[in-house]
Copies of this chain bind each other. A is one copy, B any other.
């Protein structure tokens, strides 16, 4: 029996992962700090929900001892929009994640997949970012924290620790997203007949639909691929074009203002993933095209 503990299970990506774990015959133990249940859990599916503060060592150990998972899918992290980039809570999540993976392995856990970030890479643009070729030089405390956690876990995995995969998530969008993030920050006002504004419309980023991200993580967990794997679409879209596509679905396109300042320096013009590892080694291809994903996301906020 494959028994997986999912942290951040009611979070943006986590909630979408549950049905795909069940589809792959995992017994699912879902951990959340606050709520229980999830709108994305399939009808009638058996999910054991646990409410626990992972920062609490006693609660964490009780959880592992009660579940005795063979697999770990670790999404939980600080994600307060706009604040998580430089929040000292990143230190807490490095510490708690190390403890969690160690306790998981000590209790017989075999295989873990942990959520990393494209923020681990140096963002100087140019070629698609690849796990083996691109420079790691995070420009934020969040990126450094994720990268440093990965370094320790990977070194341990190579020296007696559990089998470990690390999914580097690019720009995720879709139903369940925090309303302050880019896609809903345009869609929700337009749906309500209110003005919406986008900065940096000239930038190009790799946007990927949340359900694809969740499915890719489940495929990654279920594989024996070791180390970092980009979780992305492999395609960059100009943010201005993304905003227009949202307006096509939400209506009230005349209330949308797109600012662009191609001459401004600082932010890299294009950041896109090389998805070769995900496609060929994990065997997962993202399936939801942007046009369709935006339609679904906007429908969820209607």
Contact = CB atoms under 8 A, between A and B. Distances in A.
A219 interface: no
Copies in the complex: 2
Contact of A95 (B90, B95, B144): B95
B102 A98 contact: no
Contact of A144 (B92, B140, B151): B151
Contact of A148 (B86, B92, B152): B152
Contacts of A92: 98-99, 102
A241 to B, nearest CB: 33
Q: Is the interface of A mostly helix, strand, loop or mixed?
A: helix
A236 interface: no
Contacts of A99: 91-92, 95
Interface in A84-110: 86, 88, 90-92, 94-96, 98-99, 101-102, 105
A154 B152 CA distance: 16
Interface stretch (A69-77, A155-163, A180-188, A203-211): A155-163
B152 A90 contact: yes
Contacts of A152: 90-91, 94, 141, 144-145, 148
A88 B109 CA distance: 15
Interface string A18-52: 00000000000000000000000000000000000
Interface string A131-153: 00000001011001101110110
A283 interface: no
A125 interface: no
A242 to B, nearest CB: 29
Contact of A155 (B98, B101, B145, B161): B145
A139 to B, nearest CB: 9
A193 interface: no
A57 interface: yes
Contacts of A144: 151-152, 154-155
A145 B155 CA distance: 8
B91 A94 contact: no
Nearest to A86: B159
Contact of A161 (B88, B98, B102): B88
Contacts of A156: 88, 90-91, 141
Given A90-B156, A95-B98, A148-B151, 6 more contacts: A86-B160, A91-B156, A92-B98, A138-B155, A140-B159, A141-B156
The 8 closest A-B pairs by CB, nearest first: A95-B95, A148-B148, A144-B155, A95-B98, A91-B98, A141-B155, A148-B151, A86-B159
18 contacts: A88-B156, A91-B98, A91-B101, A91-B156, A92-B98, A92-B99, A92-B102, A94-B94, A94-B95, A94-B152, A95-B95, A141-B152, A144-B151, A144-B152, A144-B155, A148-B148, A148-B149, A148-B151
